[in-house]
Structure 1
Amino acid sequence: MATPGDRSRSVRAADLRWRGALAVLGEMRREPGVTRAAVARRLGLSTGSATEITSRLRDLALLAETPAATASRGRPTSVLTPHPDGPVVIAVDLRQEDWRCAVAALDGRPAVAEAGTHRSRDPEQVIGTVAGAVGRLRDRYGGRVRAISVAIAATVRHGGVAQSSVLGWDAVDLAALAGDPGTPLLIGNDATLAGLAEARQGVAAGAATVLHVTVEVGVGGTLVVDGRPLHGATGAGGEFGHLPFGDPGLRCPCGARGCWDLAVDGRAIARHLGDPPPRDPRTYAEQALARTDPAARAAVGRAASALGGGVAGLINALDPAVVTLGGLAGSLRDAAGPQFAAALTDGLMRFRRPDPPPVLPAALGRDGALHGAAVIGLDHLLTEEGLTAWAALHLETPPSISKIN
């Protein structure tokens, strides 16, 4: 008869086997196209252990192996890739003017499958249209869909949409996007998820503390610490655009006065040029950035200065190792570099000026939020519970834990 000590040792051993499987899948995700030999070296696995783990993962349709092209005469190895019949997540990017649905396998690379522009801002119509696209993907991939994750241009609180000033929405329910109530629906702010993607797989990969600032319609972002964004008490953290860095005489659509949002995007540039508020501030800003006339240059310079000063304030408050600029933020800095740099330097505390954190353009561009949505979906899947559920679905009978390492 097994004693409590025997059972405890068995559980600890099972945990270690799970860790090995998750670690291998994590390396495949961190570096798509990685070889089995490289994974074994990084994780300190023997050749036999690496072969055994990857064999079990192949049996569970979690990874596939193809011969690696190598110039050396050493022992042959293989490239690890997602299994063609393996689990996937559906990633949705719901923006001010349009939406996209993508499918991501275990390497985290979202492939856009459907996209469209909003015919109306009515939330019921927008959500219905996107739900239709998600439903078609669910029909195509069946039980392989393990989560649906949504990046949305909105304040996300308690896992749902609290407000979207750019879409003109108050609280809305996105549950219709899941279709099947048994499929997890994960919702995140688009700027937060873009910052998460930059910290995990973009220009800031490997940095312990990353400040991401993005400009689309307004300003968003996040602080990512050790690969996790700081959400705050209710999940609504990172609403940088609603810091009072702007003109206190201006009322923001969010309800507050003096929001930074209104000082840096296309609405600010239009105001400086004496134009009416644009319906599509992002497109307006792109057009203004392309102009060379003095009036446009001056308006862009004022927005870039407001951006630089605000970034300095965030650096002072949050002490990041790296700052990444997404959306139009990098374009604003490029178009008015001296104004941005002067405002950034002037806004920094004196001790920071000799060695400020690097301010880098985001590597993922407008796909950052979509990549971030894939990240949170895969984070949900790549857990002991997630893999156990997949194994139970994939095999006729649920395997013991020792058979899914």
Structure 2
Amino acid sequence: MTTRSTALLRVVHRHSGVTRADAARLLGIGTGAATELVTKLSRAALLAQAPAAPSGTRGRPTTVLLPHPDGPLVLACAITHEAWRLDVVALGGATAASLSARHGGARWADVRTAVAAAIEDLLSRYGDRLRAIGISVPGPVSRTLRLEAFTSDWHGIDLNELWPGAGLLVAGNDATLAATAEHLRGSAAGAAVALHLRIEAGLGGAVIDDGRPVLGAHGAAGEFGHMPFGDPAVRCGCGAHGCWGTAVDGTALARLLGAPEPRDPVTYARRVIATAARELGSQRARQDVAGLPPLSSGTPSGGAAAYPCGSGEAEPEIDPAASVEAVRVVGGALGRGLAGLVNALDPNLVTLGGIGVDLLAAVPNTITAAYRDGLMLIHRESPPPVLPAALPDDEGPIAGAAEEAWSALLPRLT
């Protein structure tokens, strides 16, 4: 009964509003057994029942299953080098409350104090309904829940300090958690083996195999940006030379354009990519007017996506033609690395997050050409598709943190 109860809670978490009959079918049990489970979980204030919307057909009204209004909640916390955010998340994924603030690269002690105070605030509101916390951070997390962020002084950080009294605390790298969320609720849903890459201030990701991320012996799996696919002359913040991440992020674009290293590589990268996308659009328009064949690379006829162009502060002008060439070089480096990972890992599909979405929209043909050229013959007839992530940049990691917290909590509720 306990195992089936947990399984039913998982079904409702994944499909909030599922009918009792459909839940029974998903679990492979009869309607009588399903009714017994629902009654038990309703009495425990874990599930609630409600009539389904009228279908217009005859027969007994259908019952849908929902999270109990007084049921358990989890905290999801996402900490980046610029900001933090806390969400209160119910069974099914709905957000009940949220707190956030920017910290602008503060010392860990200051970030810890601010986040711990926010947790106390939410505890005062929700009390013992808050049963677990999932934490997303910008770096590898050991099995003892210590953070090692390569691009900051956040080393050896004990994440348990954020909520010392937590009954259940789980944590992970932001790219890994974004991959988990993308597999459950995004573009990779249903894939047996999915590869997710997230390009922000560096490059990370994860392989999701049979629904779970591959974490590695020390919790550092998925640091794909530190494979030696880049320029051996470029030293990475991790201490190695030639890391792939340094060839595809905002620092790579700055080097190609002869600009100083940007303070905010993500905002800078989006400015450069937006400039390149506009220039490619102008080139296509000139080709059309002149009656010439379409460009062999760049964006397809639908055009590029719109990109945020920074914080509104005055920024140096970026040469449009130079930006196109720089973005194509970075797109080629991204495509070649993708091919290497597909050859090694054999995923069903690849999803890109962060500025990977921007690059894929701006120079898809460049990325695709480099990707296909690097694939082994066995993959070329039907290469795994490379898709933009469905979840926005600021949603993937925190959604993944919530999923990890619920995944750990559900077996303890029954």
What's the TM-score once normalised by structure 2's chain length?
0.86
Matched residue type, 2:5: A
Is residue 358 of structure 1 aligned with residue 405 of structure 2? no
Alignment counterpart, residue 320 of structure 1, candidates 328, 334, 347 = 347
Deviation by residue 1:123-149 (Cα, 9 ceiling, x = unmatched): 111111111111211221111111111
SS at match of 1:156: coil
- What does 1:17-28 correspond to in 2, within 5 Å? 17-28=1-12
Matched residue type, 2:20: R
CA shift at 1:159, angstroms?
A: 3.6
Q: How far apart are the structure 2 equivalents of 1:98 and 1:258?
A: 29
SS at match of 2:155: coil
Is residue 387 of structure 1 aligned with residue 371 of structure 2? no
SS at match of 1:172: strand
CA shift at 1:110, angstroms?
A: 4.1
Correspondence for 2:119: 134
The 8 Å contact of residues 123 and 169 in structure 1, kept in 2 or not, is answered as yes
Structure-2 change in CA distance of 1:230 and 1:36 (3 Å): same
Structure-2 change in CA distance of 1:193 and 1:125 (3 Å): same
CA shift at 1:183, angstroms?
A: 2.0
Is residue 221 of structure 1 aligned with residue 248 of structure 2? no
Q: How far apart are the structure 1 equivalents of 2:151 and 2:52?
A: 48
Is residue 171 of structure 1 aligned with residue 199 of structure 2? no
For these two proteins, the number of residue pairs brought into alignment is 369
Structure-2 change in CA distance of 1:298 and 1:125 (3 Å): same
CA shift at 1:153, angstroms?
A: 0.7
Deviation by residue 1:59-103 (Cα, 9 ceiling, x = unmatched): 111111211013222321222111111111100011121111111
Correspondence for 2:72: 87
Alignment counterpart, residue 36 of structure 1, candidates 20, 38, 57 = 20
What residue ranges of structure 1 are gaps of 5+ in the alignment?
A: 1-16, 389-405
Alignment counterpart, residue 375 of structure 2, candidates 320, 341, 348 = 348
Decide which moves more: 64-73 or 164-173. 164-173
Q: How far apart are the structure 2 equivalents of 1:196 and 1:238?
A: 12
Q: Which runs of 4+ in 1 moved over 3 A?
A: 109-112
Alignment counterpart, residue 296 of structure 1, candidates 300, 323, 343 = 323
Q: How far apart are the structure 2 equivalents of 1:311 and 1:75?
A: 53
Alignment counterpart, residue 373 of structure 1, candidates 396, 401, 410 = 401
The 8 Å contact of residues 159 and 235 in structure 1, kept in 2 or not, is answered as no
Deviation by residue 1:215-263 (Cα, 9 ceiling, x = unmatched): 1111110011111111111111110110111111111111111111111
CA shift at 1:19, angstroms?
A: 2.0
Is residue 336 of structure 1 aligned with residue 381 of structure 2? no
Q: How far apart are the structure 1 equivalents of 2:397 and 2:208?
A: 14
Correspondence for 1:103: 88
Structure-2 change in CA distance of 1:177 and 1:156 (3 Å): same
What residue ranges of structure 2 are gaps of 5+ in the alignment?
A: 280-319
What's the TM-score once normalised by structure 1's chain length?
0.88
Q: How far apart are the structure 2 equivalents of 1:340 and 1:120?
A: 32
Deviation by residue 1:308-367 (Cα, 9 ceiling, x = unmatched): 111111000001112111111121111111210111011111221111112121111221
Q: How far apart are the structure 1 equivalents of 2:222 and 2:18?
A: 33
Alignment counterpart, residue 230 of structure 1, candidates 201, 204, 214 = 214
SS at match of 2:326: helix
The 8 Å contact of residues 99 and 117 in structure 1, kept in 2 or not, is answered as yes
Alignment counterpart, residue 73 of structure 1, candidates 43, 58, 73 = 58
Matched residue type, 1:38: D
Is residue 150 of structure 1 aligned with residue 148 of structure 2? no
Correspondence for 2:234: 250
Correspondence for 1:4: none
Correspondence for 1:161: 146
SS at match of 2:407: helix
Correspondence for 2:46: 62
Structure-2 change in CA distance of 1:139 and 1:41 (3 Å): same
Matched residue type, 1:166: T
The 8 Å contact of residues 142 and 219 in structure 2, kept in 1 or not, is answered as yes
SS at match of 2:35: helix
Deviation by residue 1:353-387 (Cα, 9 ceiling, x = unmatched): 1111121211112211111101110111111xx11
Correspondence for 1:272: 256
Structure-2 change in CA distance of 1:132 and 1:240 (3 Å): same
